Amino acid sequence: MNPSRPTCFVQIALLMVLGGLLTACAHRPQRQAPPAPGTQQARHFQVSRQVSNSLDYQVFLPAGYRAGSGKKWPLIVFLHGAGERGTNIDKVTVHGPPKIVKSRPDFPFVVVSPQCPDHAFWNPDELDTLLDHILARYDTDAARVYLTGLSMGGNGSWIWSTARPERFAAVAPICGWGDPVRVWIASGPRRNALSTLPVWAFHGAKDSVVPLRDSEAMVAAFARIGNKVKLTIYPDADHNSWTAAYDDPALYDWFLSHSR
């Protein structure tokens, strides 16, 4: 019997274990550094380890943001429209808050703008998981989370806020559509949360893509349960009512006037 053989086997086994550890480390997702304050950068988020779904998103941190300073910033979650779906994350910055922050490094909110995959619609469960991740990852105030979106994102804003009203301090759906029945049949704590959720909807009177009546139906449903919902109608606007809405400083003042 060769006395060196057991030693050889042990060495081989150790090398195999070491190789496995190195491989695992090489494939372990790396924690991404936050964007520099005053900038917006793309990020990737795995919705769940159990499913393959993932969301890319843009995140903007205000110029005054300092991680670990103890200051908690208000958060805007922006949901884009159908035309910005896909895998090109830069598309989500063509409208709304992620467009505004390109020239406003002092914009007084953290802004998170996820991208919906091709041929999909906004999923409240996935968005909930992303929101949990953002609140844990960045110095944001869970009591001042504001939701807004346009067109398909307006739909996402209505659907997500009616499913999870307790998560938001205020919601501003723009030229979107929703399900009024979900509001009518709400009961218990969810109905109470819906009746007190600040909602300000916007729509163009001449919208040929999503009819004005879709916003009116949702506004009527909220009013029916006692909500002091607001609706702004732009008389000459077609589908693009979002430019006027997002360019109005009153919207952001209104957001900041509410906390949960």
DSSP string of 28-82?
Answer: SPPPPPPPPTTEEEEEEEES-TTS--EEEEEEEE-TT--TTSS--EEEEEEE--G
Q: What's residue 200's pLDDT?
A: 98
**Given this model, what pLDDT does residue 25 score?**
39
Hunting for tokens 């307006």 — which residue is that?
154
Of the pLDDT bands very low, low, confident and very high (cuts 50, 70, 90), residue 43 is low
Mean per-residue pLDDT over the chain, rounded: 87
Token pair listed for 136: 């844990």
Lowest-confidence pick of 8-22, 75-89, 121-135: 8-22
Based on the number of CB atoms within 10 Å of its own CB, is 170 exposed (0-12), middle (13-18) or buried (19 or more)? buried
Per-residue pLDDT of 202-257, as tens digits, reads 999 999 999 999 999 999 999 999 999 999 999 999 999 999 999 999 999 999 99
Query: Alpha carbon of 113 to those of 104, 158, 212: distances in Å?
Result: 16, 16, 25
Average pLDDT over residues 147-158: 98
**Dihedrals phi, psi of 152, to nearest 5 degrees:** -60, -30
Among 58, 125, 47, CA closest to 93: 58
pLDDT digits (tens, 9 = 90+) for 98-107: 999 999 999 9
Q: Which helix (H) or strand (E) holds 187?
A: none
CATH 3.40.50.2020 corresponds to the domain 36-256: no
Cα–Cα distance, 167 to 138 (Å, whole number): 17
- Out of 23-27, 151-155, 189-193, 200-204, which region has the weakest mean confidence (pLDDT)? 23-27
pLDDT of residue 29 exceeding 80: no
Q: Report phi then psi at 204, rounded to 5.
A: -90, 135
For residue 54, what pLDDT is reported? 76
* DSSP type of residue 260: -
Residue 53: per-residue pLDDT: 65
Highest mean pLDDT among 32-36, 52-56, 230-234: 230-234
Spans of all domains in the chain:
36-256
